[in-house]
A and B are shown apart, each in its own frame.
Chain A
Amino acid sequence: MIVHVKWSALKQSRWYEYVLRFVLGGLATALAGAIAEFFGPETGGLFLAFPAIFCASATLIEKHERERKQKLGLSGGRRGKEAAALDAAGAGVGSIGLAAFGLGVWCLAPTLAYGSLALGAVAWLLVSVFLWHLRRRVRFY
């Protein structure tokens, strides 16, 4: 299956769901800053990978998938959990990419400053996509 964009998925989300993710993202960022300030950068750094947003995303995915199935007259409970589990599996792969981001910024930030964030983001994308692709190939063969 080829990666593609499904714009109609945006219609499934309601306005308050966007607000919820904006607020959670803002709070997680403010929290990470506060922890770094009070407990030091070593402890604060851990919270740059805190799964606060993931809770909201997985819950919304389960809800959307369940509602989609309910419109077809099915319960949708099982399908909702499966969709959320698939999202969690993807996040698991993405977190290895996130570690690659951290590694890149750890090594390059003292010399490249903002360039280290850009390179780290590229590393996240490349490692995540590579591992996702590898996982699919291993499953098929």
Chain B
Amino acid sequence: MEYLIRFLAGGLVVSAFAVLGDVLRPKSFAGLFGAAPSVALATLSLALWKEGGDYVSVQARSMILGSLALALYSGVVCQLLMRFRWSALGATTTAILLWLVLALVSKRLLMG
């Protein structure tokens, strides 16, 4: 039941931000909504209710590292599309490996 609530809450918040990203122009501005805190808002709201503020604080601290990995990921995707002419699907899915490595290694180095 808890995972169903997570699924519905996440789906709704992500869809709301995605629609905003669809209608806003210029496209570089709309792109900001590709890194909106949609999954974070849904997840942390439920975690606050279930686990409390200290637990959420720990999650948010790691999220900073995930966000910095996302910034590098976006830069690499941009280069794969413009310089190497990859398709959007190929570039975004391949670069996920880079995000995983960056996020996990930085967490390991900085938080143990």
- Which residues of A line the B interface, CB within 8 A? 1, 3-7, 9-10, 12-13, 18, 21-30, 32-34, 36, 41-55, 57-59, 61-62, 80-99, 101-107, 109-114, 116-117, 120-121, 124, 128-129, 132, 136
Contacts and interface: CB of A to CB of B under 8 A. Distances in A.
**Helix, strand, loop or mixed for chain A's interface?**
helix
A3 B24 contact: yes
Contact of B35 (A4, A9, A95): A95
Contacts of A48: 37, 39-40, 43-44, 59-60, 62-63, 66
Contacts of B30: 87, 90
Contacts of B53: 109-113, 116
Contacts of A3: 24-26, 29
Given A102-B64, A105-B60, A111-B53, A86 B34 contact: no
- Name B's interface SS: helix
A8 to B, nearest CB: 9
Contacts of A103: 60, 64
Interface of B: 2-3, 6-15, 18-19, 21-48, 51, 53-71, 73-75, 77-78, 81-82, 85-89, 91-93, 95-96, 99, 103-104, 107, 111
B70 A51 contact: yes
A24 B69 CA distance: 20
B8 to A, nearest CB: 6
Given A13-B22, A106-B57, A55 B31 contact: no
B37 A120 contact: yes
A99 B47 CA distance: 19
B78 A5 contact: no
B28 to A, nearest CB: 5
